[in-house]
Structure 1
Amino acid sequence: MAAAFMELRMDQLPTDPLLHILSYLDFRDLMHCSFVSRRLNELSKHNPLWKSQCCKHWLLTDDDRLQSGVSWFCLFKQYYTDLGRYIQYYAVLKRAWEQLKSFLQQRCPRMIASLKEGTTEVELNDIEAQIGCKLPDDYRCSYRIHNGQKLVIPGLMGSMSLSNHYRSEVLLDVETAAGGFQQRKGMRRCLPLTFCFHTGLSQYMALEPAEGRQMFESFYPCPDQTAQDPSAIDMFITGSCFLEWFTTYVHNVVTGEYPIIRDQIFRYVHDKSCVATTGDITISVSTSFLPELSSVHPPHFFFTYRIRIEMSSSASPEAACQLDSRYWKITTSDGNVEEVQGPGVVGEFPVMTPGKVHEYASCTTFSTSSEYMEGHYTFHRLASKEEVFHVAIPRFHMVCPPFREPVVRTQKALASYTPRFDDHDDDGEYCDGDGDDFDDLRGINMAALEGAWCPRHI
């Protein structure tokens, strides 16, 4: 009785207030309203209502609608028929891809040509049948937009260069990923997401909760070198699901968190508070963890850090100076402290003049998963070598990603591990001094709104 009364009252309202009310509803509620009465069924098809839905869920524009030649309502139906199962992911992933492509077009244009067009539902279903596992919907949705990247260098998912070590990770297309699907003990039901030609390194996604992994999390595998069983695989965790993994990376790229060096994305992270200015010279530091050179057992965590030295452009010419030496104080999370000093940086003694920037990278290893470094450089003025002064290097922290051991480790560490610190002499490391250095509403029946549009499950 109350429902019938409410229906009557709603039908008595003028059209404009009703449309205003309907404009606050999501597409699910609009569809539900179509079942209430004939009048609401008609109003629920009001074209401007569906323009907002198309913009919200499919990121469509007026140009897209004009090009399609159909109404906003029909355009929403077309997209929902094709991509309805991904409606909770599509807008986020589509926006991330568009932001990434816009950024790459300006900063790394050769990467644009390596992106592959989206795959199809049929192809994704065939891949699932091939590997015998379901792919998560956020992964499928992203691959409907772009099917990864061609196997080229540089890789879309970031590079790293140190001395004679180079890594560049390609975002694998789904067909290549399926070819690397793992069924071996220790890596069962794991699908590769990335691949590096130089190191053989891949990030994987767990398609089932097995062997200590959580479902759909991404990780770098790390063999337990102290176990006799080669299937004992530790994991450096990089994301809890594909959506988080991919969108976090894109955010870091497009916001400038990751520097672009020679048309490649380098995965250095800069803490904005990690900046120190002494007089006319500013020092800033960014860091990166290298999983391919690290291990949990034995504990060996490899980090690289990149330092930017900049002299203010407003400094007087008499302020010109040259770096003579460096001093480091290194503190690990277990309280051990080491002090290191030596001449120059990366075997160089850079001269700083007003407006000049000098950048270099070095690396270190620790037996603890987190630590910090701080120190100072010693400079002398070019006009007077007797005028010597220190420039502070801000404290910067190096923390490895969360890691997890397999459920069962077959053997304890074979021998005690002696912590090793690099001598921090910076010699021979990568250096780039040019200063320019990523309600489960099942069975929604849109046919109730118009025609025989088949229901989709979301």
Structure 2
Amino acid sequence: MFVELSDDILAKIFGFLDASDVLQCSLVCKSWYRVAFGNQIWYDLCERYFLPKSLKSLLTKLEENAISISKSRCSESANLGSWEFGFVQSSRQTLGYESTDSEGSDSSTAAEPSTILCGTKSCCCHGRKRLAVLITHFINDAEDSYNKYSLFKEFCLYFSRGSNYVSRIVKVLDTLETFCRRANLAAARTLLPGVDDNCIVEHVGNELPADLYCLYRLCSGQYIPSDYSQFQGILGGYLFYDVLVDCNLSSVCSMQVSELGNRRILKIGQDMFWYNNRGSQGLFIDLETKHVIELTQNHYVIASNDIVTYLEKYVNDLSSNSLMVDRNTKQILRFCLCPTYSGYSDVVTGYIRIQATCLFVPGISKFSHFQEQDEFVFAYRIRISMLSSAPSHYMFRLEQRHWIVTDTDGHVENIRGPGVIGEHPIFHPGSVFDYASCAPLRGPVGKMKGSFTFRPLHHEPGSEIAAPFIAQVGELHLNIFERYRFPPDSPERYLQLQKRWERDKSF
């Protein structure tokens, strides 16, 4: 019966199958063989496995990122000189970027890059040119332009492992760069070209999980300028007191496999991290489980099941405007401004609006089998503003703060003090003040709420603001389980809390 189906019907049926199943069907008979190798079927498979049809901008990025990266070097001792790539020249001449992007990028310049780029002189040149050719054929819809089955095989050869991740990674990179360009962030122009197989094998061997392998074939990390006066981490960061976290994708050449207990881990996200000289943290991949992990002082927590899921969650937060962007440094901040997130509050008292958000900081936290030694540090960021609708003569000075912090066991701590972070900011209609601080807990969950006392500096006699008044800060739920998980070898009391959260999604 199936042999008698028309070619059009067979083609529609085959369109729902995976590549291996289509090849199996081609062995049934001559008519199935003819349909199974139709151009449209393999064009659709290319789109499904590798390159979404709507993301043609990748070809432009391949050209821009691979143009004349002069005086770049793979190590401090090996200067490779000028690399010629043969692409059509564009407005961006180097990764030191003079940009005239139409989507709002500034025209500022940066110093010529002098950091590690990739493993060999040919890894960007040959590999990126070949991928650009494949994408060009993919975009060209002409029936006689290229045999689409051959094109599929070429893509499979280029991405020799984990081809099912490629389409998702392309979407992530495209969304990431689009957001950064529209927000006029310098990080938009720091992603490096992908690398070839021999570069990956030379520096990492064959230990990369398939999804991470595909990521580095498309994007080999991030260029970090020698003048690190402003944050450039593509994965965002935050700063409070003497703690600076700024996460960026490390290049293949700087990736190292190390030991964590009986596990082998690979560092994929470098960061700058200072806190009483405790050293650097960053993102890691557990090579056995593929989990994305972050180190604590004496253990680790799981941030995601794999790197692609981690990046997808991150760019989804960016696209939905759930993450903050620092207006001065143009840095992506990991603090979440999302009403559905329990670590966020937004309260208006009179004409004063207070937004508060928090996040768990693994690098300076610790947990063990001895609860009295545990310290779970949560950073929080406060944005205080006076509404523009306030009367023009209103002017307030922040006098005092009051916080009520409750930890996992219900222990309550009251914190009072003058001003915030040693300052007494003054507010008038439309003014905004941001600051960040931290709150340590003796467990992985807790809550905090508080208030600020304001004193009027200028008012009319007999007005309603003649005396100091209190502006409330909405309750923040401090909860690591919304972004992290404990590994199986963690203390049982924390695993029990985790199970409770996974079951009820509340405490």
- The verdict on a shared fold, with TM-score over 0.5 as the criterion, is yes
- For 1:386, the aligned partner's letter is A
Q: Which residue of 1 aligns with 2:350?
A: 279
Taking the aligned partners of 2:406 and 2:53, their CA distance within structure 1 comes to 54
Q: Which residue of 1 aligns with 2:291?
A: 217
Q: Does 1:163 align with 2:241?
A: yes
- For 2:137, the aligned partner's letter is R
Deviation at 1:197, TM superposition (A): 4.3
Taking the aligned partners of 1:66 and 1:267, their CA distance within structure 2 comes to 36
Identify the match of residue 235 of structure 1 among 300, 303, 327: 300
Taking the aligned partners of 2:262 and 2:235, their CA distance within structure 1 comes to 22
Taking the aligned partners of 2:395 and 2:490, their CA distance within structure 1 comes to 58
Matched residues, percent identical?
25
Q: Does 1:396 align with 2:476?
A: yes
**TM-aligned CA distance change 1:20 to 1:240, over 3 Å:** closer
- For 1:402, the aligned partner's letter is R
**TM-aligned CA distance change 1:163 to 1:55, over 3 Å:** same
Identify the match of residue 379 of structure 1 among 443, 454, 466: 454
Q: Which residue of 2 aligns with 1:248?
A: 313
- For 2:236, the aligned partner's letter is G
Taking the aligned partners of 1:239 and 1:67, their CA distance within structure 2 comes to 33
Deviation at 1:407, TM superposition (A): 8.3
Contact kept, 8 Å, 1:270 with 1:287, in 2: the verdict is: no
Deviation at 1:334, TM superposition (A): 0.6
Q: Which residue of 2 aligns with 1:266?
A: 333
Q: Which residue of 1 aligns with 2:10?
A: 18
Q: Does 1:143 align with 2:135?
A: no
Q: Which residue of 2 aligns with 1:37?
A: 29
Taking the aligned partners of 2:15 and 2:487, their CA distance within structure 1 comes to 47
Q: Which residue of 2 aligns with 1:439?
A: none
Contact kept, 8 Å, 2:53 with 2:139, in 1: the verdict is: no
Taking the aligned partners of 1:406 and 1:16, their CA distance within structure 2 comes to 55
SS at match of 2:439: strand
- For 2:449, the aligned partner's letter is E
Taking the aligned partners of 2:261 and 2:18, their CA distance within structure 1 comes to 44
Taking the aligned partners of 1:66 and 1:407, their CA distance within structure 2 comes to 48
> Could you give the per-residue CA deviations for residues 97-116 of structure 1, whole angstroms, max 9, x where no partner exists?
11111112223543244322
Contact kept, 8 Å, 1:108 with 1:264, in 2: the verdict is: no
Deviation at 1:73, TM superposition (A): 3.7
Contact kept, 8 Å, 1:304 with 1:362, in 2: the verdict is: yes
Deviation at 1:392, TM superposition (A): 1.6
SS at match of 2:323: coil
- For 1:157, the aligned partner's letter is L
Structure 1, unpaired ranges of 5+: 1-5, 209-214, 225-233, 409-458
Contact kept, 8 Å, 2:267 with 2:283, in 1: the verdict is: yes
SS at match of 1:256: coil
SS at match of 2:161: helix
Contact kept, 8 Å, 1:65 with 1:71, in 2: the verdict is: no
**TM-aligned CA distance change 1:12 to 1:205, over 3 Å:** closer
Deviation at 1:335, TM superposition (A): 0.8
SS at match of 1:85: coil
Q: Which residue of 2 aligns with 1:79?
A: 155
Q: Does 1:289 align with 2:360?
A: yes
Q: Which residue of 1 aligns with 2:106?
A: none
Q: Which residue of 1 aligns with 2:86?
A: none
When normalised by structure 2's length, the TM-score is 0.67
- For 2:281, the aligned partner's letter is L
Q: Does 1:105 align with 2:97?
A: no
Taking the aligned partners of 2:14 and 2:292, their CA distance within structure 1 comes to 41
> Could you give the per-residue CA deviations for residues 312-363 of structure 1, whole angstroms, max 9, x where no partner exists?
3333335543333222211111111122223322233333333332222122
Taking the aligned partners of 2:487 and 2:246, their CA distance within structure 1 comes to 24
Rg larger for = 1
Taking the aligned partners of 2:473 and 2:297, their CA distance within structure 1 comes to 35
**TM-aligned CA distance change 1:268 to 1:60, over 3 Å:** closer
Identify the match of residue 283 of structure 2 among 203, 207, 216: 203
**TM-aligned CA distance change 1:67 to 1:248, over 3 Å:** closer
Identify the match of residue 250 of structure 2 among 172, 175, 181: 172
Deviation at 1:38, TM superposition (A): 0.8
Deviation at 1:53, TM superposition (A): 2.3
Q: Which residue of 1 aligns with 2:63?
A: none
Deviation at 1:264, TM superposition (A): 1.8
> Could you give the per-residue CA deviations for residues 134-159 of structure 1, whole angstroms, max 9, x where no partner exists?
32111111111111123444222332
Deviation at 1:282, TM superposition (A): 2.2
Q: Does 1:321 align with 2:386?
A: no
Higher relative contact order (CA 8 A, sep 6+): 1
Taking the aligned partners of 2:169 and 2:139, their CA distance within structure 1 comes to 23
Taking the aligned partners of 1:331 and 1:33, their CA distance within structure 2 comes to 63
Deviation at 1:96, TM superposition (A): 0.7
Aligned length: 379
Taking the aligned partners of 2:13 and 2:366, their CA distance within structure 1 comes to 58
Contact kept, 8 Å, 2:448 with 2:476, in 1: the verdict is: yes
Q: Does 1:191 align with 2:266?
A: yes
The root-mean-square deviation of aligned C-alpha atoms, in Å, is 2.8
Taking the aligned partners of 1:313 and 1:396, their CA distance within structure 2 comes to 26
